[in-house]
Structure 1
């Protein structure tokens, strides 16, 4: 069965098992994509030791996937709108699963990074179709709940992935994560084929090749500049060139988007309060969440000496708080207003990150848990209101664009968050190491500087003489960890302040048209400006 987004309202009840079947199939693929961002973080200490990965290589292993996903999710979302979202989603699962097999066989960090990039391409084919299929199938009165459940799984999927990865790492090597990912991708493809209808936009638009290239180049160059700037130096020619390319890519896209009749993403959409505020909220939320996972899981393993599985279980409270909060958030937003709930969520998340700056080497799990609970409330509030604000800013024929923009914002936030917090952590970790580390044997000194995991491994091989080195590595780790948390807490607080002034007072679904609220153009007016002139 095929559904086109026509008539001003989404079609309802499609799919072989109705809306519940569609929701299950889409959330299953969603969890696969999100889990693959976080699951490998549990294996980073193993990769540092087994493959000799440096901090920079570890960042690229984590970020190669998210950069490809962030750079390509908009054009591939538009492709799904044209040729069929389910078709692209199923193909994406097959690409993802095949790349995961190659990742399992990777003998070097370079091979693993390439495989992760291809997995990210597959994920970019999957991700847009999950939300846009839900919004196309669910009727208006049920759409908010469908989006809220999708948002909850988008946030909790990271924890689900880490639980599975932790269980696998208890008995198998890091390659088991990729074998499990490949098998799950096949299951997701079958579920989408069996339970979801084919949906596509009713409008036939020319594909925006220029917009696709400029956005992909800008995102990739930005993340490259952040990672390599920290590793090689911010004034290196290749780093300066990367930032210049990112700026030029963005600068080129804006006039191209304004002149193109059917742009990949109309720059004028940022004049809409809900679209603008939702984008900022989702961007900063995912910067915080996945930047935290990148560094926080190493805290649990290297400082608290938790196993991979125990580390994943230690983060379960986040999911336990996020899911019910996400479901309740639409009611809170209806009662208190989006302008109240969205900044409150960002402030709760900022408070959780700031709480983590007070940790030290001897801090136990209970202090860490308090920060998790507060952050979980913030994630649930922010994710649901941010996603709804973006989706409800656009008409039913533009749900593919809304979904892709929501996904792009998430993945750009994830990529930048991992790059930024990984860079801040690495810089402060190295600067906090004592000077006498350089007097160690050359191989041991290099290991200590490359990563905390390798440093602790080197210390363990020194026997009783390694205790001072282990203490120094742990102290340096905490310096990098708390600084990274402080940076992201400040960014979240600033975003909360901006959203408090710019977010719409209430959901656009039951509010007056945006243009009537604030003198801004309505979504329909923006869309109609690109309609063929008769």
Structure 2
């Protein structure tokens, strides 16, 4: 028996708040989806938009390298650390209420960031935006699960996932356009009209929904999960810069693991846990968790490597490299907005969709590893395969996570989904980056410079520079192969566990009564 089946039956939610529970979607569900996707988009844009403003910030705010790192990381660090807590708050206090709160916090943070006059002010504003971003990312997915009937959830989550890809690709491009015409603060103030539109639309359209059981708040669990995840993500973010054996990274990782262990022990002993550990007894949930971590591990790490390949090996500038990764996001957007990926998922079933999607993603990463050094044609082919794979696998994986959790815990489910994505992405960048550095150093020999720019600066001849470039390209290919293997392994494992869970949950066919009528 699965954990979902073992848990007590939830009390019914009000009909108006949860029309999907009666098999009907909200009458304005597609308009509401557009509203929450708009809120989601501004959050995702701010994950990447700041990267193009680094020269301006360095010049106009006299920002140091450490300041720039904190401007970028404060947002991701706070957001990833609070996702689970934000989802739990949405379930308890109301998803519409937390969606509005998230928009207000994000809007205020955007204004403060846009008008900041010092690095410290901008870092603090980015942290505040991270709080709002955590609330928005969890509530948007939770609301989508509430307003759509099960038969439409696959397409709705597909569109939600496509907005993720669109935000990833569009951030640097929108930032570049704004910086060409305005000062650096415009990349934050552009959020304000979007937030105002979102507030009006949420008040007018989005129905309130929350956990009707009203579990008592798990304050210690919220504190432990936030501190643990923040510490662990900080260690992953800091590893490439400080070194994986540095005291800062070791202390952060050790604190994170210790606190998260305490979180698990605490959740097992209290009657109303923030994260019910019984979920992990459900093979649908464990399969989706394993797949989600490994797909973001391979995807995040491989794209991190690809941007370096395009710039250092193929010689493109930052904006040119960003434009050349856009086909991936465009493929995801087209397939999900058109409903094609949802139809494939429905025909294949969730286990097969996850397996097929992640296998195609692995093929795309492998193609980049094999052919990227020959020019952009090989990269483009790989990006298209990755895009198709993501369009199929990502929504199916998110649907598997959300479907394995009771409806009244939709916020927690969204928090888990977001936390897995953040953790897998950070781990992919860290591990595949370490593989790259190790292979690069081994090929260049003892005493070689530790990074590609440093090694090129130290190269004294054209022959030496070619040797450095070849060594870096080989290191990139090796790392991409590791990422492809992780994605393929995750796809096969997730498909197997999800398939087993579906077979276990399927009702046994009723035996024909002895002597009863037989089919002709």
Instruction: Give the TM-score taking structure 2 as reference length.
Output: 0.80
Which 10-residue stretch deviates more, 385-394 or 496-505?
A: 496-505
Q: Distance in 2 between matches of 1:450 and 1:200?
A: 50
Shift of 1:478: 4.1
1:160 aligns with 2:173: no
SS for the counterpart of 2:370 is: coil
Question: Match for residue 512 of structure 2?
Answer: none
Encode CA deviations 1:338-378: one digit per residue, 9 max, x unaligned.
Answer: 32221222222222223333356x64221211110111111
Unaligned runs of 5+ residues in structure 2 are: 1-13, 509-520
Among candidates 26, 33, 49, match of residue 13 of structure 1 = 26
1:93 aligns with 2:131: no
Tell whether the 8 Å contact from 1:10 to 1:136 is kept in structure 2 after alignment.
no
Among candidates 140, 148, 166, match of residue 150 of structure 2 = 140
Q: Distance in 2 between matches of 1:115 and 1:159?
A: 23
Q: Distance in 2 between matches of 1:92 and 1:229?
A: 30
1:64 aligns with 2:66: no
Shift of 1:183: 4.2
Shift of 1:331: 3.2
Shift of 1:288: 3.4
Shift of 1:130: 0.6
Q: Distance in 2 between matches of 1:434 and 1:42?
A: 34
Superposed, which structure 2 residues align to 1:421-436 within 5 Å? Answer: 421=432
Question: Match for residue 423 of structure 2?
Answer: 412
1:281 aligns with 2:294: no
Structure-2 change in CA distance of 1:35 and 1:277 (3 Å): farther
Tell whether the 8 Å contact from 1:295 to 1:481 is kept in structure 2 after alignment.
yes
Structure-2 change in CA distance of 1:46 and 1:505 (3 Å): farther
Question: Match for residue 445 of structure 1?
Answer: none
Unaligned runs of 5+ residues in structure 1 are: 439-448, 460-464, 518-534
Question: Match for residue 442 of structure 1?
Answer: none
Structure-2 change in CA distance of 1:144 and 1:512 (3 Å): farther
1:401 aligns with 2:412: yes
Question: Match for residue 330 of structure 2?
Answer: 320
SS for the counterpart of 1:366 is: helix
Structure-2 change in CA distance of 1:125 and 1:282 (3 Å): same
Shift of 1:162: 3.7
Tell whether the 8 Å contact from 2:299 to 2:483 is kept in structure 1 after alignment.
no
Question: Match for residue 493 of structure 2?
Answer: 498
Question: Match for residue 520 of structure 1?
Answer: none
Q: Distance in 1 between matches of 2:64 and 2:440?
A: 16
Shift of 1:422: 5.1
Question: Match for residue 37 of structure 1?
Answer: 47
Question: Match for residue 346 of structure 2?
Answer: 334
Which 10-residue stretch deviates more, 346-355 or 102-111?
A: 102-111
SS for the counterpart of 1:199 is: coil
Encode CA deviations 1:382-436: one digit per residue, 9 max, x unaligned.
Answer: 1111011112212322222222222222233334334445555567677878999
Tell whether the 8 Å contact from 2:436 to 2:478 is kept in structure 1 after alignment.
yes
Question: Match for residue 351 of structure 1?
Answer: 363
Tell whether the 8 Å contact from 2:35 to 2:202 is kept in structure 1 after alignment.
yes
1:486 aligns with 2:481: yes
Q: Distance in 2 between matches of 1:416 and 1:179?
A: 32
Aligned residues: 492
Provide the aligned C-alpha RMSD in A: 3.9
Shift of 1:233: 3.8
Tell whether the 8 Å contact from 1:214 to 1:249 is kept in structure 2 after alignment.
yes
1:367 aligns with 2:378: yes
Which 10-residue stretch deviates more, 153-162 or 27-36?
A: 153-162
SS for the counterpart of 2:216 is: coil
Instruction: Give the TM-score taking structure 1 as reference length.
Output: 0.78
SS for the counterpart of 1:351 is: helix
Structure-2 change in CA distance of 1:104 and 1:223 (3 Å): same
SS for the counterpart of 2:405 is: coil
Which 10-residue stretch deviates more, 495-504 or 259-268?
A: 495-504
Shift of 1:209: 1.6
